[in-house]
Amino acid sequence: MATSKTNGTPSDAVNGDGLHHKISSNGNGVSASPSSYDCIIVGAGFSGISALHRLRKLNLSAHIFEAGTDFGGVWYWNRYPGARVDSETPFYQLNIPEVYRTWNFSKRFPDHVELRKYFAHIDKTLSLRKDVSFNSKVVDASWDDAAGRWTVKTATGEVASAKYLMLCSGLLHHTYIPDFPGLSQYKGVVHHTGAWPEGVSVKGKKVAVVGAGATSVQVVQELGKEAEHLTMFMRRPSYCLPMGQRTFTAEEQNTWRPYYDRLFQQGRLSFSGFPNSRKQGDLFDDSPEVREAWFNEIWDRGAFNFMMCNYGSFLVDKEANRVVYDFWKKKIRARMTDPKKQELMAPEDPPYYFATKRNPLENDYYEVLDQPNVEIVDLTKAALKSFTETGLQLEDGSTHDFDYVVLATGFDSFTGSMTNMGLKSKDGIDIKDTWSKGISTYLGLLIGGFPNTFMVYSPQSPTALSNGITIIECQTDVVTDIIARLEKQGAKSIEPKEEAQEQWKAAINAMSKLTLYPFTSSWWDGGNIPGKKAENMNYVGGIERYEKTCREMIEDWTGFDVVKA
C-alpha cells in the first residue's frame, strides 16, 4: 500500500534576534549555538510572521521554530488538487504596506501555489528567514519559574530559551485520520489531503473521496474532472456558496491599492473581517418578494456575501433559517439533473441549520457531482465497515474497489497542534492533560498555569467565524501590546486567574446559546474527533467587539496575575 499520511505536525519553531541576544541562523534550522531570546514563536504561517514582524518593531529578539521546510503554515502543508483560500482579494493578505504595495494577486481567490509565492514575497520584503529555524518541530516546552523563562526543544535537538512563548501553530494543522479497520490491508494508494504529494494524476483511475466538508468540495471539484470514476462517501452535505472566481488584473489592483489601508481598517471594525454588513431588520418584516430580491442580489455577489449580508435573524430564529435554507436548496437543485443527487446534496429537509457549520465556496462543484462518472454514497444509510485489499466495504455488505483513496477527513481543529508539542505548565502538566476535560483560556489568548504564553488563531475567540488574516492581526496586536506593557513595567510574568477563565468560558457559551450554532456539531466544536469533548470554541460576537473586550481587560490587568521582576 502506497500511503501519504500524517498524524499531525504542521507548524512550530521559534528563534529570534534582537534586543538582548543575537545569534546567526541560516533559516534552515541550524544555529551557531544554544540560543536565548525575548520571545520564541512556534509556527511560520501568517500568525508567526505577524508576531515576528511586530516583535521586531518593539526591538525585541524573536525567533520562529517551524516544522516545515519553508513559510506558509497551512499553505505549506495543503497542496491537494483545488486547494485555495476562500477569503477574497484583497482581504487575505497582511496589512503591511511595504508588502502589499509590491504584490498583485492573479485571482479573486488565490490557490495554494500562488499563496506560497506570496509568502516568498513577504520573506524577501521583510527579510524574515534569518530569524527562522525550519525543519524544527517543537517537541518540548517547559517553564523555569526561578528564571522566568521557557525552554523549548525540537525534534532535531535544538534547545532555546525565551521569556515569552507565542503559539502560532495553526487552527487546522493537525490532520485527523480515523481508525479505519483494515486500512493496512489496502493495496491501493491512500493520501490524506493534508499530506498530498505533488505530481499525482488520477487520470483513468477509480477514486474514493472520504468526507464531504470544505476540503472534499475542492478535491472532488478537481478530481471528478480527471478520474475515470469518483465516489464521494458522505455523512451530510456541505451547504456550499458560489465562489464567484475571476481574474484580477494588476491595473485594477493598482487602482484599489490606495484604499487598502482603509479597507483593512474597516475589516478590523467589522464582525468577520470583511467590511460588509447584515441586512437590517427581521427577515419576516419583509415580504417574500422583497426577501427573494435581496437573496438573489447577495447570492450573485459571490464569496460569503449570501451568509454575511443576510438578515441577522436567520442565525437565531429557526423559521428564518429555514427560509434561507429553502432559497439555497432551490439554487443548488437547479444546477443538478439527477434527482437522487439533488436530494443527497440539497435535501428537502435540512440536516442541520444553515451556516451553523462551515459554508465552503465552490465554482462548479454541483455540476461535477452531477456527472455520470461521479457517485455519491450516503454513509448514514450504511456506514463504512472496513478497508479491504482492493477498496472499501460498508455495513450493508456492499464493496467498492478503488485505485486511490483520498481521506478528506479533516483536522483536530483549534487545539491539535498545541496538544502535540510537549507543552507543559509551570507545574509540569502537559497541556493535553490540562485540556482533557475541556478547553479553558482567558480571552482566547492566555492559559492559566502557562506564564507568558500566548495563543494566536486560537480557541475561544472569533477564529472560525473570521477572515483568517484579520483575526490573526487583531490577536497579534493585542499580544504584542501586552508584552510591550509588561516590559515597560519590568514585570516577570503574566497569566490569567482561574476565575477569569471560568467567566470567559461562561460568557462565550452564553452568547452562543442565543444562536443556532449549538445545534450543530462539527470541527467548529471539536465534535469531529472521537474522544475529544465537543464544546463551543468560538466567540460569536465578532472581531470588533472581541478586540474591544480584550483591550478593556488588559488596561488594568483585569483577570490577570502579573508578577513583578
| Average pLDDT per consecutive 10 residues, the chain (565 residues; last block may be shorter) | 38 31 40 78 98 98 98 96 97 98 97 98 98 98 97 97 97 90 96 93 97 98 98 98 97 96 97 95 96 98 98 97 98 98 98 98 98 98 97 97 97 92 98 95 98 97 97 98 98 98 98 98 92 94 98 98 95
Nearest to 208 by CA among 85, 45, 75, 384: 384
From residue 415, alpha-carbon distances to 73, 208, 234, 430 in Å are 15, 29, 25, 13
Residues 358 and 285 in one domain: yes
Q: Name, in order, each residue with C-beta under 8 angstroms of 462's C-beta and a sequence gap of 6 or more.
A: 272, 471, 538, 539, 540, 541, 542, 543, 546
- Give the DSSP letter string of 36-52: EEEEEEE--SHHHHHHH
Q: Name, in order, each residue with C-beta under 8 angstroms of 466's C-beta and a sequence gap of 6 or more.
A: 272, 273, 543
pLDDT for 25 equals 43
Residues 403 and 425 in one domain: no
Residues 223 and 165 in one domain: no
Cell triple for 540: 460569536
Instruction: Judge whether 441 and 460 are in contact, CB under 8 Å.
Output: yes
Residue at 88 is within a domain:
no
Residues 214 and 349 in one domain: yes
Backbone angles phi, psi at 131, to 5 degrees: -110, 30
Cell triple for 108: 479573486
Q: Name, in order, each residue with C-beta under 8 angstroms of 160's C-beta and a sequence gap of 6 or more.
A: 14, 15, 31, 34, 35, 36, 37, 40, 63, 65, 151, 152
Residue at 396 is within a domain:
yes
DSSP element (H, E) containing 4: strand 2-4
Q: How many domains does the chain have?
A: 2
- 3-class DSSP state for residue 375? strand
- 3-class DSSP state for residue 125? helix
Domain that holds residue 314: 183-248+274-407
Residue at 103 is within a domain:
no
Distance separating the N- and C-terminal Cα atoms of the chain: 57
Residues 422 and 381 in one domain: no
Residue at 253 is within a domain:
no
Residues 308 and 325 in one domain: yes
**From CA 51, how far away is CA 59, in angstroms rounded?**
12
Q: Where are the beta strands (DSSP E) in 300-339?
A: none
Residues 224 and 357 in one domain: yes
Backbone angles phi, psi at 168, to 5 degrees: -115, 45
pLDDT for 174 equals 87
Amino acid letter for position 165: L
Residue at 546 is within a domain:
yes
pLDDT for 33 equals 53
Backbone angles phi, psi at 265, to 5 degrees: -60, -45
Cell triple for 546: 472581541
Residues 320 and 420 in one domain: no
Domain boundary among 352, 384, 407: 407
- Give the DSSP letter string of 208-274: EEE--SHHHHHHHHHHTTTBSEEEEEESS----EE----B--HHHHHHHGGGHHHHHHHHHTSSSSS
Residues 211 and 151 in one domain: no
Domain boundary among 375, 392, 407: 407
pLDDT for 198 equals 86
Residue at 110 is within a domain:
no
CATH at 73: 3.50.50.60
Domain boundary among 365, 389, 407: 407
C-alpha neighbours within 13 Å on the C-beta side of residue 317: 13
Residues 160 and 212 in one domain: no
For helices 260-268 and 468-489, give the axis angle rounded to 10 degrees. 80
Residue at 364 is within a domain:
yes
Nearest to 194 by CA among 328, 301, 88, 74: 74
Instruction: Judge whether 391 and 188 are in contact, CB under 8 Å.
Output: yes
Residues 205 and 308 in one domain: yes
Q: Where are the beta strands (DSSP E) in 85-179?
A: 132-133, 138-144, 149-154, 159-167
